[in-house]
Structure 1
């Protein structure tokens, strides 16, 4: 009971801050939506699980103090920033090059081009390489979470953050993989893929111009 009283408020603060952050549209949201619409619930869910797994990358270096080093090094921060931006631009440009389907072809909404492994890796890389997430977790583990909080408790917070993220984006995947939703997007054909590509390219460009503050 004393342990709950000691860290309950801190955990609640972590949960609220994380909820506000994860609910904000960004690269993770865009990549899960695109996977769900293009390839169905299975691909969307695996992408969501990959995003959740990417959280462990940020938690690990935050607990080890590496995040502080990255945040204070312009060279390391820029290297991570350009790598993440290049990855988003690569995915976005591929989507922008989507071609119209043969109008006589039958669209199978249950089939998708992604394997679970590919979808999972895409989720991990999109979240794990995001330098904005680096700054977010650095702030979380240095401002919201007390440095006197035991490492085991902080690791527990990290586990919650990963699971909550995976759950949130799994719900997003479930919503956007509904047959009616997918059918509506399918009617727009390659224009939807191009629109999502433009979003990803825009996010990549925005990320490329992110400055270390």
Structure 2
């Protein structure tokens, strides 16, 4: 139980740190409601599951300095820059009321799923976090079954937390607050993503040099 609390606490603290996934979920919830943002949440959770599976399998290809790690860094920087520019260019006030807000169709949810998955899978920080955490667990002698249980718990927590964030952001009071300011929210999120892209690219440049 002590080990579980330490692992769960470290994972949740990392989850609380806002990043590109949080910005995408927030923006999607404001525009499409929490059901529309559910696709993004599922994509993010699945990408985390992929990294956890790789960590459990003992893959070390994403260690800092490895060619694949540098490639992921550059791909992630490019994707974050693309998302940032797209958000800034598409910024517009939210004209629909909460009651009239449309619910995303299957195609919209699939697109949201793809965006969420790409955002999380191209974030090397996720790979490093899970690789480090499960390396420590393996070194401490934790059984594989226990590590798998931790992994399932983490995926469930990621999905639950992201859905909670989406649900809170889509509440009527917040919709009224942010609805008329959505353009500025999108521009701010886009600028933040571009800055993150620059930081990731700088790290990738350091890995090459």
Q: TM-score, normalised by structure 2?
A: 0.87
Task: Check if 1:88 corresponds to 2:80.
Answer: yes
Tell me which residue corresponds to 1:4.
none
Seen in structure 2, the aligned counterparts of structure 1 residues 29 and 69 have a Cα distance that, compared at 3 Å, is: same
Kept in 2, the 8 Å contact 1:45–1:174? The answer is no
Tell me which residue corresponds to 1:191.
184
SS in 2 for 1:69: coil
Q: Whole-Å Cα distance in 1 between the matches of residues 9 and 91 of structure 2?
A: 42
Q: Whole-Å Cα distance in 1 between the matches of residues 92 and 21 of structure 2?
A: 26
Task: Check if 1:15 corresponds to 2:8.
Answer: yes
Kept in 2, the 8 Å contact 1:51–1:124? The answer is yes
Tell me which residue corresponds to 1:44.
37
Q: How many Å apart are 1:122 and its aligned residue?
A: 1.5
Tell me which residue corresponds to 1:107.
96
Task: Check if 1:59 corresponds to 2:52.
Answer: yes
Kept in 2, the 8 Å contact 1:93–1:197? The answer is yes
Tell me which residue corresponds to 1:169.
162
Q: Whole-Å Cα distance in 2 between the matches of residues 166 and 94 of structure 1?
A: 25
Tell me which residue corresponds to 1:98.
90
Kept in 2, the 8 Å contact 1:84–1:131? The answer is yes
Kept in 2, the 8 Å contact 1:14–1:144? The answer is no
Seen in structure 2, the aligned counterparts of structure 1 residues 38 and 156 have a Cα distance that, compared at 3 Å, is: same
Which 10-residue stretch deviates more, 85-94 or 185-194?
185-194
Kept in 2, the 8 Å contact 1:32–1:173? The answer is yes
- Count of aligned pairs between the two proteins: 201
Q: Whole-Å Cα distance in 2 between the matches of residues 112 and 208 of structure 1?
A: 36
SS in 1 for 2:61: helix
Give CA deviations for 1:114-165 in whole Å, capped at 9, x if unaligned: 7111112222121122101111111101125545222222111111000001
Query: Runs of 5+ in structure 2 lacking a partner?
Result: none
Tell me which residue corresponds to 1:151.
144
Q: Whole-Å Cα distance in 2 between the matches of residues 166 and 49 of structure 1?
A: 6
Tell me which residue corresponds to 2:175.
182
Seen in structure 2, the aligned counterparts of structure 1 residues 16 and 99 have a Cα distance that, compared at 3 Å, is: closer
Task: Check if 1:69 corresponds to 2:61.
Answer: yes
Query: Runs of 5+ in structure 1 lacking a partner?
Result: 1-7
Q: Whole-Å Cα distance in 1 between the matches of residues 91 and 124 of structure 2?
A: 32
Q: TM-score, normalised by structure 1?
A: 0.85
